[in-house]
Structure 1
Amino acid sequence: MKKQILWFVALLSSTLFAATDAQIVEHFKSTIQVPNITIEVISRKKVDNIEGMDFVTLNLSDGARSQKLSIFTKDDLIFPDVISIKQGGSIKEMMEMADLQKNLSALYKKEDKKNIVSLGNDPKKETLVVFTDPECPYCRQELAQIEQRLTTNNIKLIFTPVHARTSLEKSVLVYKESAKAKNDAEKIAILKKYFDETVSYEQKISDEEVGRIETLKQKYFGAGIKGVPFMVREKELLK
């Protein structure tokens, strides 16, 4: 399910005396009313073709949860987004996607094969990497059409569940059982079993096994994924 930690109301342009990192942080600390919040600037880069404008990404955390926030700054102004008529859309979305793909690429190239459920192996078809969750209703909708999607694409699934412990346990079981599957049909049957909201299971899943999936999830959400299902072309990750 697409979820985000929403701590703040939509931002409006705001004036600052000077948009230094320290002043941007202080501005948002005074704007976001969350106890014990820490805010830090984690990246800052120039925006192409707009002189004097920077794209700034901050990390907001209350100790238990964290969220990235991106804004633009020019002179003494802050903007939540900049729309380019020439480029046909949100510069924020374009820059965030470029950063996300770069971060995901670095992780994906090193990913252990045991954390990937692969379906299809046709070199003529494009491969899609899908980040998913057995208890996400949108992921269930995506899975319902998996046979149709496999007619045009290979698919690689990585489990990054955002729901309760049971979603992590189901992910463990999918990985375990699909590793023993002989073909795609058996893997799909396993996926459909554990994505079914009425499924029950008696296997005991250890804290260590659950922790492995939690670490996998945190790794990719830390790279910038904001929800599931999230899909990206593998060729973009292998550049």
Structure 2
Amino acid sequence: MKIAKLLVLSAFASATLLANDNLVIDFEKKRVAQNPNVKVKNIKVFYKKELELKGWNGYILEIDATIQDKGMKVKDTLFSDGKVIATDLYDVSTGKSLKDSITPTLTDKYYQKSKLIAGNEKAKDKIVVFSDPLCPFCTQYIPEVIDFVNKKSDSIALYYYAFPLTHIHPASTTLSKLIDIAKVKNGNDIIMKAYTAHWSKYFEVTSTDDKIILEAFNKELGLDIKIEELNKKEIITSLEKEVLMGEDMLVSGTPTIYINGEKDTTREKYKTLGKK
């Protein structure tokens, strides 16, 4: 009887949770539908996490929609206790949004050997960074992280993913592709060199002229990459995949850093790694 009762309670709880999920999805559909330029194809729960706030869950929803005749997949965050739905919640003691608290945890697919730029891939402690080579903060931060890991290369693994913020500085897309090409040819030291170079001597961050950016890259780093290499399908596809992997983790700004799978909003926790 006890087992049967537990099964009934479990089924009831599952049904209740599913009903709450559907409530959130239906709410989002109605909310998005208020925009006449958006046609929703599908909305699903991408990630869900129970909050420390009793009874509340955070939802990351994936919206498959047509926006001004262009198919797009975007993500949105909502909160619900099954009775109330909120677009954001704030910690009154810190004033910070709780959205960061439901950031998905990295899976093993983010520890690709081809993305390892420093340290030991077998190390227990793993760092993953998403960065834009023309982001002013990144140009200071990424070299610092690389230096730190190089000093503790046996105990930490550092993985790098390009995430060019093309809406701010379009030139970062071309630069990211060039870094990828050069890294394969000349090794991981290229990333440090690219992040410490003064690109403003050669082009504006708003430049979309591949030829000018390529010439600057070759001159500054002493390379001879051809325009044909820059336009290869596999290079374009590789960058697109990196950006998508960032978007799946809700990366929206740079640098974004993960320590052992968890997003670090302080960007300082890497300094605690590698201690004996």
Shorter-chain TM-score: which interval?
0.5 to 0.7
1:168 to 170, 173, 176: 173
**Equivalent position of 1:67 in the other structure:** 74
1:206 aligns with 231
Give the CA deviation at 1:179. Answer: 3.1
CA distance change for structure 1 residues 48 and 221 in 2, over 3 Å: closer, same or farther? closer
Aligned residues: 208
Q: Name which of 41, 44, 50 aligns with 1:41.
A: 44
- Residue 133 of structure 1 deviates from its aligned partner by 1.5
Letter in 2 for 1:132: S
Tell me if structure 1 keeps the 8 A contact 2:60–2:76: yes
Residues 9-28 of structure 1 mapped to structure 2, 5 A cutoff: 20-21=23-24, 23-28=26-31
Q: Which moved more, 1:161-170 or 1:147-156?
A: 147-156
> Aligned partners of 2:37 and 2:188: how far apart in 1?
51
TM-score where L is the length of structure 2: 0.58
Q: Greater relative contact order: 1 or 2 (C-alpha under 8 angstroms, separation 6 or more)?
A: 1
1:217 lines up with 2:243 in the alignment: yes
Decide which moves more: 158-167 or 37-46. 37-46
Tell me the CA shift for residue 218 of structure 1: 1.5
Distance in 2 separating the partners of 1:179 and 1:167: 18
Q: Work out which of the residue numbers 33, 56, 60 in structure 2 matches 1:57.
A: 60
Q: Please list the CA deviations of residues 24-62 of structure 1 after superposition, one character each: whole Å capped at 9, or x if unmatched.
A: 13431255x350242613247573666654433323442
2:159 alignment partner in structure 1: 156
- Cα deviations across residues 191-225 of structure 1 (Å, max 9, x unaligned)? 434x7333442331115122321222113212322
Shift of 1:230: 0.8
Gaps of 5+ in 2: 1-21, 203-212, 216-225, 264-276
Aligned residues of 2:143 and 2:192 also touching (Cα < 8 A): no
Are residues 1:80 and 2:87 paired? yes
The two structures, once aligned, show a CA RMSD in angstroms of 4.0
Please state whether the residue corresponding to 1:162 is helix, strand or coil. Answer: coil
Q: TM-score, normalised on structure 1?
A: 0.65
The 1:121–1:154 alpha-carbon spacing in structure 2 relative to 1, beyond 3 Å, is same
Report the CA distance shift for 1:128/1:45 in structure 2 as closer, same or farther (over 3 A). closer
Percent identity of equivalent pairs: 18
Give the letter aligned to residue 174 of structure 1: I
Give the letter aligned to residue 118 of structure 2: L
Letter of the structure 1 residue corresponding to residue 193 of structure 2: A
- Retained in 2: the 8 A contact 1:21–1:41? no
Q: Secondary structure at the match of 1:201?
A: helix
**Paired residues of 1:44 and 1:54 also in contact (CA < 8 A):** no
Counterpart of 1:201, as a letter, is L
Cα deviation digits, residues 169-192 of structure 1 (max 9, x gap)? 3222212323344674x6522443
2:130 counterpart residue number: 131
Any conservation in 1 of the 2:77–2:87 contact (CA below 8 Å)?
yes
Shift of 1:78: 1.3
Q: In the aligned structure 2, how far is the partner of 1:175 from the partner of 1:192?
A: 16
2:251 is paired with a residue of what secondary structure? coil
Please, which runs of 5 or more residues in structure 1 have no aligned partner? Answer: 1-18
**Residue identity matched to 1:162:** L
Cα–Cα, structure 1 residues 192 and 37, in superposed 2: closer, same or farther, change >3 Å?
farther
